Amino acid sequence: MTSASANSPDRRWRTVQQVLHRGMFYLVLSVIGATMVLPFLWMLSTSLKTGKGAVEIPPTWIPRQTTIFANYGGREVKVSLLKKTAAVRRLDNGQAMSVYAQALKTRRALFSGQESVYASLRQENATVRVPVEVLATTARVRILEDGPDHERVVDLPGDQLIVRSKVDPQWSNYPTTWNKLPFGRSYINTAVVTIAVTIGQVLTCSLAAFALARLRFPGRDKLFLGYLATMMIPGTVTLIPVYILFIKMPELLNAAFHTDLFTSDLYFLGKYYIGRVAGSNSYFALIVPGLFSAYGTFMLRQFFMSLPRELEDAARIDGCGNLRIYWHVTMPLSRVAIATLATFTFMGAWKMFMWPLLILNTEELVPLQVLLQRFQGQYGSEQHLLMAGSIIVLLPLLVIFLFGQRYFIKGIQLGGVKG
Amino acid sequence: MSRRSRPVDFSWGGYLFVLPNFIGFLTFILLPVLASLALSFCSWRILRERSPSFVGFANYAKMLSSSEFWYYTYNTVFLMLGIPIGMMLSLSLALLLNRAVRGIRLFRMIYFLPTVTAGVALLVLWLWIYEPLYGLINCTLAEFGIEGPNWLGGGINLQFLQDWFGIDPMCYFAKPSLMLMGLWTGAGGYNMILYLAALHGINPELYEAARVDGASAWQRFKSITWPMLSPTTFFILIMSLIDGFQGGFESAYVMTQGGPAGSTTTISFQIFQELYENDRIGSASATAWFLFLVVFILTMFSWRLGGKVVHYD
């Protein structure tokens, strides 16, 4: 037996070390993962609670419905709790007093597990916590059960209450939220704008990138440098003139074409308001500025440069024009890059916030992000509905991410540029 | 002969390919940049006045002499203090994930989740998480007997600041809270993926050689990983700084309305307010150009500096 044999203490120790090491590794990863996931679970949990359940202390992770019963006249009856008081003796000065049960808090010592009760008392405009001993509790309840005692209010000893809770997710929060504000219409707005921007941007960028990478014409390299130089211009700088352009556009176009078409409102199928043709309050304003991107052109140009030329040369010898080479050779070869740009553009367009805020002043055209913000403004205190609304807005992004995950990771590595 | 000097791929049609994108480039980037420079020397309340009037440097003078503007700049820079911390977190996560064991893809996806879902919905979620009474954080703290602060609305009066330095003694929690949220959102995001890609690119033989020479894990990180990552670190830093100067609008608009007492109003939120609420085109343009100049100078400076610090192989 040598020390290298499978049963030697040395080898066994190394295996133990490896297992421990791996265990630690997964533990650390999971703790960080939990930090990332917990807020989402909290969002889901809140979205399935009742309005009252959402602001319960301490909060529960699983939405529950609690019903209170009381032992009354020898049987269990359903009651509603009006108030609960406790007769306590202060441990600091021995004084006996009566407090609301809400003011009592039980603390369990970390190691000994010993429980001690504290009462929060208001003294001269400040809340102080004093240790107390609970002598008895009294609950004032209203009897809900039908019968001779219906609606009667009685005082019972606190230990006669029975609290029953059952898992009860409020799925109805989702339809409720959906109907509070026009989420459906907003979904359509976001989908229309996002899809149009994505397709449009991929087309214009890939066409330009193809020319910049593969065709020769005077001024090409200067043009490319121009694109490159403008990539770091902050969006806020270009925002203001573009905002003015769209504000002024309808009147300018009307004057130019001697019509009033551009300031009149349009209705789809005669009843769905779809804003104006162009300018502020139009799909045009939401879509068109997103159709062009210096970054997308740059990224695709770099990718096209890395493709082998042989296939294109072969196609050219076969008599293909540039447009056909672009569509039938270059584009199919660049599926990953195209999908990457498409994913990024999609995400960007989906999250567009400041621009629609500026350019729209009708309810009908607002995209989801803006709608959710308005929802937050109007129903700020109804957390369960807000969380349901947030999930409604997030869900498509999550689905796209699950399917387009590969392109995401690849795209960041490929472009080396943040979205 | 002149035909031969033209390569096969010469094409006047190239212009047609570029044209659609170029029109947009011209209309939405190039001309607006120049237009906003011109506008920054004008006064124009677009919803009331038909045309702008030239005011020279008045917008800039007013901006640079207003203490609010410098406070908002300070806020923007303060929020950017999260950048180095975030980069450290991203790098640590990338180092953790940079090994071929089962389940790595799942973890990578989970860490990326906040980045994917970033937007108004996450801001609304964080409003709820920071809720002083019922929010996730303060409820958790309460379990341990700690009374959590009012994260977004509260502050603390540090009297010694006024006594010793003569500055406003009120310190609000909102900025650090937004920073914390930003760290959670961004740590496992783009930067981590960029670091991961860079880590994949490091030649494993370097580590082998170092191990043979008896270098410790820390020594290997210090002398191999960190220098080899420097181009990525540098790139991330520049991009984050550029983003950082323009940042803070959405969280301010959705969560804090720029408050309390203007403590979360950043430059971009200020531009939005001047443009949208106050209808002052000229002032908004001047602020935007200030932002542009800062970003421009920063980028130029970084490229110069980068040549000296960054290790390219």
Summarize pLDDT for A185-241 with one digit per residue, the tens.
Answer: 999 999 999 999 999 999 999 999 999 988 888 888 888 888 888 877 888 889 899
Q: DSSP string spanning A294-360? A: HHHHHHHHHHHHTS-SHHHHHHHHTT--HHHHIIIIIHHHTHHHHHHHHHHHHHHHHT--HHHHHH-
Best mutation target among A215, A243, A313 (most B Cβ atoms within 10 Å) is: A215
Least confident of A37-46, A267-276, B276-285: A267-276
Amino acid identity at A133? E
ipTM above 0.85, yes or no: yes
CA distance A304 to A209: 7
Same domain assignment for residues A211 and A150: no
pLDDT at A418: 38
Closest chain B residue to the Cα of A344, Cα to Cα: B116
Q: What tokens does A159 get?
A: 């230990």
pLDDT of B200 above 70? yes
pLDDT at A191: 93
pLDDT of A4 above 60? no
In a domain, A55, yes or no: no
Same domain assignment for residues A199 and A312: yes
B49-113+188-309 under CATH 1.10.3720.10, yes or no = yes
pLDDT at A140: 86
Same domain assignment for residues A348 and A244: yes
In a domain, A52, yes or no: no
CA distance B280 to B42: 10
Same domain assignment for residues A125 and A236: no
- Is B296 within 8 Å of chain A by CB? yes
pLDDT at B102: 82
In a domain, A131, yes or no: yes
CA distance B69 to B62: 9
In a domain, A345, yes or no: yes
A63-113, pLDDT tens digit by residue?
887 788 888 777 888 888 888 888 888 888 888 888 888 778 777 666 666
* Spatial contact of B60 and B286, defined as CB atoms under 8 Å apart: yes
Q: By residue range, what is the domain housing residue A3? A: 1-47
pLDDT at A1: 44
For β-strands A153-157 and A161-167, DSSP reports them as unpaired
In a domain, A350, yes or no: yes
Band (A417; pLDDT cuts 50, 70, 90): very low
Same domain assignment for residues A221 and A73: no
Work out the average pLDDT over A355-383.
90
Band (B158; pLDDT cuts 50, 70, 90): confident
Tokens 């009742």 identify what position?
A50
Query: In the predicted model, what is the mean pLDDT of chain A?
Result: 84
- Chain B residues near residue A220 by CB distance under 8 angstroms: 14
pLDDT of B214 above 60? yes
Q: Report which of residues B99 and B88 the model is more confident about.
A: B88
Band (A419; pLDDT cuts 50, 70, 90): very low
In a domain, A58, yes or no: no
Work out the average pLDDT over A111-121.
77
Closest chain B residue to the Cα of A42, Cα to Cα: B136
In a domain, A336, yes or no: yes
A29 contacts: CB under 8 Å, gap ≥ 6: B96, B97, B103, B107
Work out the average pLDDT over A47-59.
82
Same domain assignment for residues A163 and A193: no
Work out the average pLDDT over A399-407.
79
Domain at A244, CATH number:
1.10.3720.10
Work out the minimum CA distance from A374 to partner chain B, whole angstroms: 9
pLDDT at B243: 87
Band (A283; pLDDT cuts 50, 70, 90): very high
- Chain B residues near residue A322 by CB distance under 8 angstroms: 11, 13-14, 17
pLDDT at A69: 84
Best mutation target among A117, A236, A361, A371 (most B Cβ atoms within 10 Å) is: A236
- Chain A residues near residue B139 by CB distance under 8 angstroms: 57-59
Select the residue of B6, B139, B292 nearest A57 (Cβ to Cβ): B139
- Cβ of A216 and B9 within 8 Å? yes
pLDDT at A161: 82
Axis-axis angle for helices B136-143, B120-129 (nearest 10): 30
pLDDT at A232: 76
Select the residue of B21, B93, B243 nearest A292 (Cβ to Cβ): B21
B17-59, pLDDT tens digit by residue?
888 888 888 888 889 999 999 999 999 998 888 888 899 899 9
CA distance B216 to B196: 22
What is the interface size between A and B, counted as CB pairs within 8 Å? 279
How many structural domains is chain A composed of?
Answer: 3
Same domain assignment for residues A221 and A79: no
Band (B174; pLDDT cuts 50, 70, 90): very high
Domain boundary among A140, A167, A194: A167
B218-266, pLDDT tens digit by residue?
999 998 999 988 888 888 888 888 889 988 999 999 999 987 888 999 9
pLDDT at B3: 47
- Cβ of A397 and B15 within 8 Å? no
In a domain, A53, yes or no: no
Share of chain A above pLDDT 90, in %: 25
* Spatial contact of B169 and B161, defined as CB atoms under 8 Å apart: yes
pLDDT of B126 above 70? yes
CA distance A169 to A176: 14
Work out the average pLDDT over A342-367.
89
Select the residue of B17, B21, B35 nearest A241 (Cβ to Cβ): B35
Band (A2; pLDDT cuts 50, 70, 90): very low
Domain boundary among A115, A133, A167: A167
